[in-house]
Structure 1
Amino acid sequence: MIVWLSWRLEALGWATVWKALPVSGAFYAAVLAAYLVLPIADALIYRRLWGVGLRRSLGLFFRKRVYNSALVGYSGEVSLAVWARGRVHRSDPEIFHAIKDVNLLSAVVSGCGGALLVVWLATRVALERLPSNAIIWWGAATVALAVALPAVLLARRGTLAMDRGDILAVLEIHGLRFALGLGFLLVQWWLALPAASVSALLVLLAIYVLVGRIPFIPNRDMLFVGIALAVSDHLALASAPLAGVLLASSALQQLLHLAVFALSAVAGGVEQ
């Protein structure tokens, strides 16, 4: 993982990354805050479900974030299941059901949030102006899933193994995580691109959410950068400043991935 992340940064180009970095300290604070949201939310969820303390598990959930973001989606869940076996006082089926339920509830929250952004996008932007029909089709799929998934979960009570109290608690944590994560991301772009309109930034946010909903693809961050640059002219965003911000943000993500993975490995924060 360390070699892979180092290679990714080398491919971006250290000099190019350095020139693209924003100078605002608030920007870096927002990047760090956004990075912390997901692993802390995961730690809180599994502390409730498995009784695992934050100190014991936080390094694990940082590594889980690295696996899912830098490698392939859901590889982090596989690493979590492997870690939990023998370390959590639950049977294998209970461990797998908990991970499955947490991801289903996450899909409900992010799907509904993404659907709201897509509906806003459809009412504010001429979708035919977007350069890729794939964005439109995936937006339609997101709205359909946002309607269908909760209905399926309600219709089939055996789909979720959690009790009602745990379901509500996990939904609350996922909802807060989703709102904070997107809020910090929007703050980053607003600080780095002060000339951009709020509408344009919200369109980028909608596309970011759509890309995040595509399963089993390697490194969604780089895919989002490519799509964002493709739609920049349609959003009246200058390509060069946008490319610099997104490149800097992507590079910072890789640096944070590299740092947390290396630190957790050196400190022995995750048992092997």
Structure 2
Amino acid sequence: MLPNSVNTPLQGFRAFFTRLIDKQKMGDKRLKQALSIIRWLALAAILTFLIYRLSKIGWNSLYESRPTSVLFYLISVLMFMVMPIVDKINYFIMTGHNIPEGIKVFSRKQVFNEAIVSYAGETYLCPKLAALPGHDTRKALIAIKDNTLISALVSNTWTLVLILCVWWVGRSDILNEIWNLSPILNGVFGAFCCLLYLVSIVFFRKFMKRAFREIWRVAAIHGVRIIILAALQIAQWKSALPSEEISFWVMFLAVQTLVKRVPINGDLMFLSVALLLSGFLNGDGNTVTAMLVAAAAMNQIVQFAAFLLTSDVKSKSRESRPHYPLAEHAAAE
């Protein structure tokens, strides 16, 4: 047994580190709360701005100018389903297993990422992957990291291609307008994205421990996903405004892609930026605005419906289904 002269300092050190850990946990909790408050304040500010700008245009005018094509609203559902299907395929490639109720899980992940904040869905997905045979939290995080890096690299490359296309079709003026909205903020954000893009290219092999064949398969699927979504998006806009030229839709697509780099509700951010840009108001401005409002509203409705449809419902057969307490805890958070 240690003498009191030794035991007392050890107890003091133990108490000190215990208090330090407790403070760190409290700090993490407060940081999460602060980020949550900032996120909801940002969404509230966006909604307030949208209500103000749309009220100035006139709600009756927007309603009368709304898209009437059934295809316009159906495409919103098709666009939502693309990402869950792609995720199901890619995570099967990387884990070798199908996640139980995969489409349901990946649809809910999509809702978290689109309606709340980017990568919130990955937090929900991690325990689901960790529950697969031969997997744990570490392997789940590696799979998520690899898929995210590949997706980001492909998506950022696509963004650069779109920017070049906007310049090629002679609509670079719209990029200047976006820059003029907030040069400092756009400059910092653009520099940060470019730095991440360069780092991801230079250190890609150090970040990725997978075989090239597997990487290329996942990258190819993400590439197909981007092309399908772009085609569906242009088809949706075209169904509402069939008279517009292709350069107009390329410009639309480029701005939407750039705006969705911001990790907050992409649809509402895109609508907010669109209302600030005079370049969007070619022809009948009310028709363009009504189309954007209808698309954003429809996307929110689809996401809300998906959230309800993927919620766990108590039933007699629930006990027979796989039970993941960690995943349910993450979903509750």
TM range (shorter): 0.7 to 0.9
Q: Does 1:176 align with 2:224?
A: yes
Runs of 4+ in 1 over 3 A off after TM superposition: 15-21, 127-131, 133-148, 232-235, 266-271
1:110 to 155, 161, 181: 155
Distance 1:237 1:160, change over 3 A: farther
Give the structure 2 partner of residue 159 of structure 1.
Answer: 207
- Tell me whether 115-124 or 167-176 shows the greater mean CA deviation: 115-124
* Identity rate, percent: 27
TM-score normalized by the length of structure 1: 0.83
- Tell me whether 133-142 or 91-100 shows the greater mean CA deviation: 133-142
Q: Secondary structure at the match of 2:310?
A: helix
Q: Which structure ranks higher in relative contact order (CA pairs < 8 Å, sequence separation ≥ 6)?
A: 1
1:132 to 159, 167, 181: 181
The alpha carbon displacement at 1:88 in A equals 4.5
> What do you get for the CA RMSD once the two structures are aligned?
3.1
Q: Residue type of the partner of 1:161?
A: K
Q: Residue type of the partner of 2:153?
A: V
Q: Does 1:221 align with 2:267?
A: yes
The CA deviation string for residues 102-159 of structure 1, in whole angstroms up to 9 with x for no partner, is 0000011100000011122234223434552559645676566555532331xxx331
CA contact (8 A) 2:126 2:144 kept: yes
Larger gyration radius, structure 1 or structure 2: 2
Distance 1:46 1:185, change over 3 A: same
1:76 to 96, 121, 125: 121
The alpha carbon displacement at 1:86 in A equals 2.6
Structure 1: distance between partners of 2:167 and 2:193 = 13
Superposed, 1:1-272 pairs within 5 Å as 21-53=66-98, 56-123=101-168, 124=170, 125-126=172-173, 127-130=175-178, 131-134=180-183, 137=187, 146=197, 148-153=199-204, 157-214=205-262, 217-233=263-279, 236-266=282-312, 272=328
Q: Residue type of the partner of 1:259?
A: A
Task: Say how many residue pairs are matched.
Answer: 260
Provide structure 1 residue ranges, at least 5 long, that are not aligned to the other structure: none
The alpha carbon displacement at 1:168 in A equals 1.1
- Tell me whether 63-72 or 17-26 shows the greater mean CA deviation: 17-26
Q: Secondary structure at the match of 1:162?
A: coil
Q: Residue type of the partner of 2:239?
A: L
